[in-house]
Amino acid sequence: MSRHVLVAIAWPYASAKIHVGNVTGSHLPGDICARYHRLAGNHVLMVSGSDSHGTPITVVAEREDKSPREVFEHFHRGFLEMFQRLGISYDLFTHTDTENHHRVSQDLFLALLEKGYLYKQVQEQMYSEAQGRFLPDRYVEGTCPVCGYEGARGDQCDHCNTLLDPQDLIDPRSKTDGSTPVLRQTEHFFLDLPKLARAGLAEWLQRDKEHWRPNVINFARRYVGEGLQGRPITRDLEWGIPVPVRGWEGKCLYVWFEAVIGYFSASVEWAHNQGEPEAWKDWWYNPMARTLYFIGKDNIPFHAVIWPAELMGVEQLYEDDPTRRLNLPYDIPANEFMNLEGHGMSGSRNWAVWMDEALDRYDPDALRYYLTVAMPETRDTDWLWEGFVRRNNDELVATWGNLAHRALTFAYRRFDGRVPVPGSLEDVDTHLLAQIEAGFEPIGQLIARSKFRAALAEVMALAREANRYLEEKGPWFQIKEDREAAGTTIYVALKAIDSLKILFAPFLPFSSERLHQYLGYEDPLFGRSYTATFEEEGGRVHEALCYDDREARGEWRPSELPVGQVLRQPEPLFSKLDDSVVEEEQARMGAGGLSD
Ligand SMILES: [Zn+2]
């Protein structure tokens, strides 16, 4: 039975480049999930986009004397190119400064207002007398009242992840000029979280969450359980989505309130772009659909509490059938962080491996492989250059690449470029094929449960089995005495490789696609990513990354490699990296200067 699967990936702020930690935290696990489900015959919609609002963007714009739009469009274009090169197969990667997203966010706000889940309250907000304006939360820093961390931001403590208001901070200071801000009164809309908790949010968090990662569900339950308060969802800001209420000019929807709406608005945009404006409902109203949110741990409160609260409160949007309800998250497999050589990655300190630069120097599948084996699924991990080189050389090249290349070149040269006709299969032959065939179900289950490291380790273990088989059989010796026996071995090896190609495909799409061609297939396994420019009715124009899988024919099932199929001339799938890479990269990082 095929199922609708929404793969929703955290929206990156378009104020800095994306580093490997961001990729392994959300974009790559989401892509592996999406590619697996497409192969398994499910209907995947994978969406995200650039967060073009919020103070990270205005901070950069002010520093560089540019408009916020110039800043976010620059980084957004870089994201589109980088994701395409890395094979992150978004059905739609858009941004939040579209008319569509503004309209959907305002409609959702108004629906919550109408249902009584928003209330107005005068609050005190940090105000800079020197600059004559209210300071956005991220412009205020101070000491965290919970853990005592001295560099906590006004919206959240990076050390203990507690969500904060700037006035919670001890010794607050303005990030721009270090001055002490004063408190001044201003009126805002608040999301009534206590009321939403009573209306079902708290109960929902207690129900059917066994498949959630413990850190995610524990955080959410604690958050809702302990003195839950309403949170302001508007701000005194010029850059953002205007509050759609008369008399509220000059105020915007708070970025964390509207960015999560992006999953929904991007689905609506995707359907519109497809010319099937209702198609998004298959993922958002169909109770059998599964919606998975791939995020970093710093985003847990917004996805496990705030976004479900918004969805639950609004109940439905753009739907005629009064009985239907918007789908709440099925799973939120939040990842921990990836550090770099033992230190936390930091864009501002230039202590990071930038994804686009890594792609200038290394094969995308080699990068994807390492980012999967070192994925921070249950605890923080480290990007180690020595580890990258070793995993590439010892596993990708020595095990999987060599296996495929040796068998293919032998068939290509010694069996007239065709899949050889086998003699009768012996136990050792059928055993290998059965072993690999038996891998599809459990490995697919591991991927569906977001256990990507374990899944990839299982696939690599099967590749080792196939390698051992080829080594023991030694077709290069067999052929001297018994051509048919050698043909049988190569047939079995190619069939094993053909299956392994599918098992590896969600992780290593580029090399699997090449291998698929070497094996003589015509139709591609996967679809094709491309960028497109969309003009909206109000005249705004935006670029987005899209995915066309109409030609894709890959299927999550064991090989049915036809005997006699004509092969294409094979090339090595991966290349060995020289040990000098480690020193070169470490010198490059040192040049960036890590100092506390
Ligand atoms: Zn803290």
Percentage helix, strand, coil for the chain under 3-state DSSP, each rounded to 5:
45, 15, 35
Q: Give residue 591's pLDDT.
A: 64
Higher pLDDT, 227 or 449: 449
The answer to whether residue 10 scores a pLDDT higher than 70 is yes
List of residues 6+ apart from 285 with CB closer than 8 A: 316, 319, 324, 325, 326, 327
Q: How many CA atoms lie within 13 A of 349 on its CB side?
A: 12
**Ligand 1 center to 427 CA (angstroms):** 61
**Ligand 1 center to 396 CA (angstroms):** 41
**Ligand 1 center to 163 CA (angstroms):** 9
**Ligand 1 center to 158 CA (angstroms):** 7
Q: How far apart are CA 507 and CA 364, in angstroms?
A: 11
Q: How far apart are CA 97 and CA 540, in angstroms?
A: 9
**Ligand 1 center to 176 CA (angstroms):** 21
**Ligand 1 center to 301 CA (angstroms):** 14
List of residues 6+ apart from 478 with CB closer than 8 A: 485, 486, 489
What angle do the packed helices 28-39 and 364-373 form, to 10 degrees?
Answer: 100
- Mean pLDDT, range 201-210, rounded to an integer: 97
**Ligand 1 center to 149 CA (angstroms):** 5
Q: How far apart are CA 98 and CA 265, in angstroms?
A: 10
- Using a pLDDT cut of 90, give the percent of the chain over it: 88
**Ligand 1 center to 164 CA (angstroms):** 9
Q: How far apart are CA 99 and CA 105, in angstroms?
A: 10
Q: Give residue 590's pLDDT.
A: 66
Q: Give residue 94's pLDDT.
A: 98
Q: How far apart are CA 527 and CA 534, in angstroms?
A: 20
Q: Give residue 131's pLDDT.
A: 85
Question: What's the order of all strands across the beta sheet hosting 92-95?
Answer: 290-294, 4-9, 43-50, 92-95, 541-548, 528-535
**Ligand 1 center to 138 CA (angstroms):** 15
**Ligand 1 center to 142 CA (angstroms):** 10
Q: How far apart are CA 353 and CA 347, in angstroms?
A: 9
**Ligand 1 center to 141 CA (angstroms):** 12
Q: Yes or no: say if 25 and 335 are a contact pair by the CB < 8 Å rule.
A: yes
**Ligand 1 center to 151 CA (angstroms):** 9
**Ligand 1 center to 128 CA (angstroms):** 24
Q: Give residue 132's pLDDT.
A: 86
Q: Yes or no: say if 145 and 170 are a contact pair by the CB < 8 Å rule.
A: yes
**Ligand 1 center to 223 CA (angstroms):** 14
**Ligand 1 center to 219 CA (angstroms):** 14
**Ligand 1 center to 165 CA (angstroms):** 12
- Mean pLDDT, range 21-26, rounded to an integer: 97
The answer to whether residue 594 scores a pLDDT higher than 60 is no
Determine which of 109-123, 176-190, 434-448 has the lowest per-residue pLDDT on average: 176-190
Q: Which 3 state secondary structure label does DSSP give 290?
A: strand
**Ligand 1 center to 182 CA (angstroms):** 22
Give the strand pairing for 528-535 and 541-548.
Answer: antiparallel
Q: Give residue 348's pLDDT.
A: 67
Tell me: the pLDDT tens digits for 237-277? 889 999 999 999 989 999 999 999 999 999 999 999 999 99
**Ligand 1 center to 188 CA (angstroms):** 25
Q: Give residue 595's pLDDT.
A: 44
DSSP annotation of 397 reads I
Q: Which 3 state secondary structure label does DSSP give 48?
A: strand
List of residues 6+ apart from 513 with CB closer than 8 A: 505, 524, 525, 526
**Ligand 1 center to 280 CA (angstroms):** 39
Tell me: the pLDDT tens digits for 453-482? 999 999 999 999 999 999 999 999 999 999
Q: Give residue 379's pLDDT.
A: 95
Mean pLDDT, the chain, whole residue set? 95
**Ligand 1 center to 148 CA (angstroms):** 6
pLDDT band, very low/low/confident/very high, at 349 (cuts 50, 70, 90) = confident
Q: Give residue 329's pLDDT.
A: 98
DSSP annotation of 288 reads T
**Ligand 1 center to 66 CA (angstroms):** 32
- Mean pLDDT, range 331-354, rounded to an integer: 90
**Ligand 1 center to 171 CA (angstroms):** 14
**Ligand 1 center to 199 CA (angstroms):** 30
The answer to whether residue 51 scores a pLDDT higher than 60 is yes
**Ligand 1 center to 117 CA (angstroms):** 29
Alpha helices in 115-187 (DSSP H): none
Determine which of 129-138, 482-491, 565-574 has the lowest per-residue pLDDT on average: 129-138
Q: Yes or no: say if 500 and 511 are a contact pair by the CB < 8 Å rule.
A: no
**Ligand 1 center to 429 CA (angstroms):** 58
**Ligand 1 center to 143 CA (angstroms):** 8
**Ligand 1 center to 166 CA (angstroms):** 13
pLDDT band, very low/low/confident/very high, at 415 (cuts 50, 70, 90) = very high
Count CB atoms within 10 A of the CB of residue 140.
27
If we measure between CA atoms, which residue out of 330, 317, 322 comes closest to residue 278? 317
Q: Which residue has the tokens 């670029």?
A: 543
If we measure between CA atoms, which residue out of 554, 409, 568, 572 comes closest to residue 493? 409
Alpha helices in 399-532 (DSSP H): 402-414, 427-437, 440-448, 452-473, 475-481, 483-504, 509-518
Q: How far apart are CA 463 and CA 502, in angstroms?
A: 12
Q: Yes or no: say if 90 and 47 are a contact pair by the CB < 8 Å rule.
A: yes
Q: Give residue 592's pLDDT.
A: 54
Tell me: the pLDDT tens digits for 98-144? 999 999 999 999 999 999 999 999 988 899 998 888 888 888 999 99
Tell me which residues have their CB within 5 A of the ion that is ligand 1.
144, 146-147, 149, 157, 159-160
Q: Which 3 state secondary structure label does DSSP give 391?
A: helix
**Ligand 1 center to 339 CA (angstroms):** 19
What's the token pair of residue 123? 């609050």
Beta bridge partners of 94: 49
**Ligand 1 center to 109 CA (angstroms):** 30
DSSP annotation of 528 reads E
The answer to whether residue 593 scores a pLDDT higher than 80 is no
Q: What does the buried/exposed string (b/e) look like for 25-52 if buried means 16 or more CB atoms within 10 Å of the residue's CB?
A: bbbbbbbbbbbbbbbbebbbbbbbbbbb
Q: Yes or no: say if 241 and 106 are a contact pair by the CB < 8 Å rule.
A: yes
Higher pLDDT, 225 or 42: 42
- Mean pLDDT, range 168-178, rounded to an integer: 90
The answer to whether residue 426 scores a pLDDT higher than 60 is yes
**Ligand 1 center to 153 CA (angstroms):** 9
**Ligand 1 center to 215 CA (angstroms):** 17
**Ligand 1 center to 150 CA (angstroms):** 8
**Ligand 1 center to 160 CA (angstroms):** 4
Q: How far apart are CA 359 and CA 530, in angstroms?
A: 18
**Ligand 1 center to 161 CA (angstroms):** 6
